[in-house]
């Protein structure tokens, strides 16, 4: 109580004597330092001496003592009051909420506050638990709470409700630690060191795994949203790099995209396992993973189509046939929904100066139906300088690479290579050869035969389709994307998930490492400033890459002698001859310094190779809100929204929905149980 309150109390005391006792006496039950939950006011003014009693709380029956005492450390008066409180409810669901992490540690720690050990002599009294135990749990489990957007529970405040060793505290976790030591001493060194649950994850569980992983590895990871699905679900990506949150000069960026077809679910699971694997192995000191993460910026979008997944998962693995959940909620096949730049290329390819790169999106595209998932991914692809990418599908066991759309309108199966055929082939080989059975001759295929090509194929030679994501990546940006068909079964049984991870783990790692093949460098002006948007070309390959923000570029290339040139508007062109050896540990550095020259007048066909600066995307982007995916302030909300009161305006039908989203997914566990709302679990 502050001084004003104290004065009020005194005044009341002088006027009404006895009444004061009823108002102020319950303060005796309060902990020093006060309790901001208001809990201190409900204790009756009893004179009955406290006694030790049996614990009798179902979720606390494995404490290493059997007798407790009321009021407990929080001032709760009876077993009934404990059982009907949100603190006990939290302990009963915490295992599920944290997906088994920090369990049973958190529960036992909480139980030791709600039902403290009762010490009989000299007179019955509660024994507080040890602050050191609380602090150890908080250190190890804080990230798990952050991962599900939950604040650290007030009653596990190590300073307020725990005591030091010299005060004779009790360590509620001592028996648990003893048990764990036995388990660890029995583990063979071959046991997997990373603990991953090889099960299917609902959308909510997926978000939770991603956020918890990023929180656990916050020095090398973070999650961010690239947009929303048609039904408003988050398209949540996770990145791994030594300095998360922004592009670093000369550090290549890659992406892995799963579940574009909602019913092709294996890739989504593999990417969730991969994220957890990268985090754990990095923390465990795995040299290979540390090198990969420290030298690469890896973006993982485990599900591009969470709406479709929900439909497919509702049917389940047994029933899910070939198509339910494939499309998004608007029934659009996302891998047919990207701008068809391949046709534009084919129409113009005989024009001498027409190049195969950075083709603008035609106006006509914007008048068609564009899925919000497609839109979000296009925005993402345009705002990060991706070098290579893999899109994970199912239904076959093969890697296909662009072009996916046939060179001839009426040829459904026709070899249609890009100018980067050699680089694409090598990229596809990298995955297929490191996969347990993809390149295998006697592996039973799902219908088609890829034996002669060793498990890789040009997309259009397999079957032709327009509007695919890989063709768009190649023709609109610098990024080379392959399509990974992970197996015949689009929705394998849960028992298959772990074996599938083993079959694909090395392939995924090798694929990510392969981005360090070829050349990279910086294009600068004479004053040493990087030139953004400069073109880097390779003689004989009709596709340029352009430089990123600070003038850096990457180009996947195979071994041999190459002539590389750099040019930019207003600068002279510079060429270099290089030799790339067959086995490269890391990308070859080729830097350029360009001299300023007077701007040349443009020729009549200049419009054919306009760069993306004049792209229609900017004109048609209905919200004109490019996100830079750059560094954001720690803790800064990405999409700040005004909280709305119930029935206080907002769009009809939207207000309630948004409001639901304001609260974390686990909020309903508490509000539906009829306990007083634990607002202390909400962060900020
Ligand atoms: Zn697919």
State how beta strands 456-458 and 480-487 pair. unpaired
Highest mean pLDDT among 349-353, 564-568, 660-664, 675-679: 564-568
- What are 125's strand-pairing partners? 119
Q: Which residue has the higher pLDDT, 382 or 100?
A: 382
Which of 27-36, 140-149, 591-600, 646-655 shows the lowest per-residue confidence on average (mean pLDDT)? 646-655
**Residue 15: what pLDDT?**
35
Position 263 scores a pLDDT of: 95
Pairing assessment for the beta strands 535-538 and 560-567 based on DSSP bridges: antiparallel
Ligand 1: centre distance to CA 306 (Å): 14
In the prediction, which pLDDT does 329 show? 94
**At residue 151, does pLDDT exceed 70?**
yes
Of residues 4 and 465, which shows the higher confidence score?
465
Residue 619 clears pLDDT 70, i.e. is over it: no
Give yes or no for residue 22 having a pLDDT over 80.
no
In this prediction, residues 255-281 reach a mean pLDDT of: 96
Ordered DSSP codes for 33-48: T--TTSGGGG-----P
Q: Which residues pair with 483 in a beta bridge?
A: 391, 400
The pLDDT confidence band at residue 654, using thresholds 50, 70 and 90, is: very low
Bridge partners (DSSP) listed for residue 555: 519
Of 38-52, 343-357, 416-430, 670-684, minimum mean pLDDT range: 38-52
Whole-number Cα distances in Å, 192 to 98, 188, 499:
21, 9, 13
CA of 264 to the centre of ligand 1 (A): 6
Share of the chain above pLDDT 70, in %: 80
Least confident of 19-33, 178-192, 216-230: 19-33
User: Over pLDDT 90: what percentage of the chain?
Assistant: 57
Please report which confidence band the pLDDT of residue 620 belongs to, taking 50, 70 and 90 as the band edges: low
Taking alpha carbons only, the member of 258, 253, 204 closest to residue 233 is 204
Q: Ligand 1 center to residue 172 CA distance, Å?
A: 51
Question: What pLDDT, on the 0 to 100 scale, is given for residue 621?
Answer: 58
- By CB atoms closer than 10 A (0-12, 13-18, 19+), residue 337 is buried
pLDDT at 70: 92
Average of per-residue pLDDT across 317-331:
83
Q: What is the mean pLDDT of residues 402-422?
A: 92
Report helix angle 287-295 to 497-513, nearest 10. 50
Q: Which of 485, 506, 513, 657 is catalytic?
A: 485
Q: 342 C-alpha vs ligand 1 centroid, how far in Å?
A: 19
Q: 589 and 521 in contact (C-beta within 8 Å)?
A: yes
* Per-residue pLDDT tens digits for 275-311: 999 999 999 899 999 999 999 999 999 999 999 999 9
Does the active-site annotation cover 318? no
| Bond preceding residue 71 cis, omega within 30 of 0 | yes
The model's confidence at residue 6, banded by pLDDT at 50, 70 and 90, is: very low
Averaged pLDDT, 358-373: 90
| DSSP annotation of 682 | B
Quick one: pLDDT at residue 526? 95
Give residue 265 CA to ligand 1 midpoint distance, Å. Answer: 10
From ligand 1's centre to the CA of 453, what distance in Å? 21
State residue 439's pLDDT score: 85
Which residues have CB under 8 Å from 541's CB, separation 6+? 419, 420
The confidence score (pLDDT) of residue 585 equals: 78
Tokens describing residue 147: 């991962």
What is the average pLDDT across 17-30?
34
Is the predicted pLDDT of residue 145 greater than 80, yes or no? Answer: yes
Amino acid 678: pLDDT? 87
What pLDDT score does 603 carry? 52
What distance lies between CA 33 and its chain's CA centroid? 39
Asked if residue 637 has pLDDT above 70, the reply is no
Per-residue pLDDT band for 615 (boundaries 50, 70, 90) equals low
Hey, what are 111's tokens?
């139980």
* Top-confidence residue, 623 or 143: 143
End-to-end CA distance of the chain: 24
CA distance linking residue 257 with residue 301, whole number of Å: 5
* Residue 122: cis peptide before it, omega within 30 degrees of 0: yes
- Distance from the alpha carbon of residue 338 to the mean position of ligand 1, in angstroms: 14
- Tell me how far apart the alpha carbons of residues 669 and 682 are, in angstroms, rounded to a whole number: 13
Cβ contact 265:312 at 8 Å? yes
If pLDDT is split at 50, 70 and 90, which confidence band does 564 have?
very high
> What band does 27 get if pLDDT is binned at 50, 70 and 90?
very low
**What spacing in Å lies between the alpha carbon of 465 and ligand 1's midpoint?**
12
Residue 633 binned pLDDT confidence (cut-offs 50, 70, 90): very low
Cis omega before residue 403 (within 30°)? yes
Mean pLDDT of the chain: 82
Highest mean pLDDT: which of 37-46, 150-159, 668-677? 150-159
Q: Cα 551 vs. chain centroid, distance in angstroms?
A: 28
pLDDT in the model for residue 655 = 33
Please give the pLDDT value at position 13. 35
Owner of token pair 């119930």: 646
Q: How confident is the model at residue 616 (pLDDT cuts 50, 70, 90)?
A: low
DSSP 8-state assignment for residue 300? E
- Cα–Cα distance between 419 and 541 in angstroms, integer? 5
Residue 422 has pLDDT above 60, yes or no: yes
Q: How far is the CA of 394 from the centre of ligand 1 (A)?
A: 6
Q: Quote the pLDDT of residue 679.
A: 87
Which residues fall within 8 angstroms of residue 53, CB to CB, at 6 or more apart? 67, 68, 69, 70, 118
- In this predicted structure, what is the pLDDT of residue 602? 54
Dihedral angle, C-alpha 447, 450, 454, 459, nearest 10 °: -110
């Amino acid at each position: 109580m502050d001084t004003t309150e104290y004065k009020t109390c005194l005044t009341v005391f002088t006027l009404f004597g006895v009444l004061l006792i009823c108002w102020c006496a319950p303060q005796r039950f309060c902990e020093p330092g006060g309790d901001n939950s208001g809990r201190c006011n409900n204790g009756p003014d009893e004179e009955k001496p406290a006694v030790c009693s049996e614990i009798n709380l179902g979720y606390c029956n494995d404490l290493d003592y059997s007798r407790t005492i009321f009021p407990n450390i929080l001032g709760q008066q009876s077993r009934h009051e404990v059982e009907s409180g949100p603190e006990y409810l939290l302990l009963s669901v915490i295992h599920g909420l944290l997906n088994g992490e920090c369990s049973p540690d958190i529960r036992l720690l909480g139980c030791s506050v709600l039902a403290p050990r009762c010490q009989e002599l000299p007179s019955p009294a509660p024994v507080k638990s040890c602050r050191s135990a609380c602090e150890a749990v908080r250190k190890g489990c804080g990230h798990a709470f952050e991962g599900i957007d939950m604040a650290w529970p007030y009653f596990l405040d190590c300073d307020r409700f725990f005591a030091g060793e010299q005060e004779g505290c009790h360590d509620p976790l001592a028996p648990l630690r003893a048990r764990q030591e036995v388990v660890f001493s029995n583990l063979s060194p071959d046991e997997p060191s990373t603990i991953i649950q090889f099960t299917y994850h609902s959308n909510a569980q997926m978000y939770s795994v991603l956020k918890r992983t990023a929180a656990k590895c916050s020095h090398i990871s973070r999650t961010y949203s690239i947009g929303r699905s048609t039904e408003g679900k988050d398209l949540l990506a996770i990145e791994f790099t030594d300095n998360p949150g922004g592009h670093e000069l000369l550090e290549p960026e890659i992406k892995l995209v799963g579940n574009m077809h909602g019913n092709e679910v294996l890739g989504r699971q593999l990417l969730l396992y991969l994220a957890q694997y990268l985090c754990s192995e990095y923390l465990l000191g795995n040299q290979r993973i540390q090198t990969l993460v420290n030298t690469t910026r890896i973006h993982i979008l485990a599900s591009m189509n969470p709406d479709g997944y929900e439909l497919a998962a509702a049917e389940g693995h047994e029933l899910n046939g070939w198509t339910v959940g494939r499309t998004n909620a608007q029934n659009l096949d996302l891998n047919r929904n990207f701008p068809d730049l391949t046709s534009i290329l084919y129409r113009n390819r005989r024009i001498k100066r027409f190049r195969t790169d950075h083709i603008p999106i035609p106006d006509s595209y914007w008048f068609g139906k564009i899925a919000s998932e497609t839109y979000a991914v296009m925005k993402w692809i345009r705002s990060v300088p991706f070098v290579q990418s893999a899109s994970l599908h199912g239904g076959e066991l093969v890697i296909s690479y662009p072009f996916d759309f046939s060179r001839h309108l009426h040829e459904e199966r026709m070899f249609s290579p890009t100018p980067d055929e050699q680089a694409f082939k090598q990229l596809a080989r990298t995955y297929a050869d490191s996969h347990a059975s993809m390149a295998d001759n006697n592996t039973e295929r799902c219908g088609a035969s890829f034996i002669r090509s060793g498990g890789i194929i040009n997309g259009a030679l397999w079957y032709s389709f327009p509007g695919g994501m890989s063709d768009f990546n190649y023709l609109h940006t610098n990024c080379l994307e392959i399509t990974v068909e992970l197996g015949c079964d689009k929705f394998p049984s849960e028992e298959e998930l772990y074996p599938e991870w083993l079959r694909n783990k090395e392939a995924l790692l090798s694929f990510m490492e392969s981005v360090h093949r070829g050349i990279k460098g910086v294009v600068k002006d004479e004053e040493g400033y990087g030139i953004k948007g400069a073109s880097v070309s390779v003689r004989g390959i009709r596709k340029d890459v352009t430089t990123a923000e600070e003038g850096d570029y990457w180009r996947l290339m195979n071994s041999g002698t190459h002539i590389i040139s750099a040019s930019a508007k207003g600068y002279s062109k510079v060429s270099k001859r290089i030799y790339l050896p067959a086995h490269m540990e890391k990308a070859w550095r080729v830097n350029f310094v360009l001299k300023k020259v007077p701007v040349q007048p443009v020729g009549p066909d200049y419009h054919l190779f306009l760069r993306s600066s004049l792209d229609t995307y900017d004109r048609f982007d209905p919200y004109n809100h490019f996100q830079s995916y750059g560094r954001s302030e720690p803790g800064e909300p990405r999409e700040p929204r005004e909280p709305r009161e119930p029935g206080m305006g907002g769009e009809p039908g939207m207000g309630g929905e948004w409001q639901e989203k304001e609260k974390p997914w686990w909020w309903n566990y508490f509000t539906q149980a009829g306990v007083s709302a634990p607002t202390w679990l909400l962060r900020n």
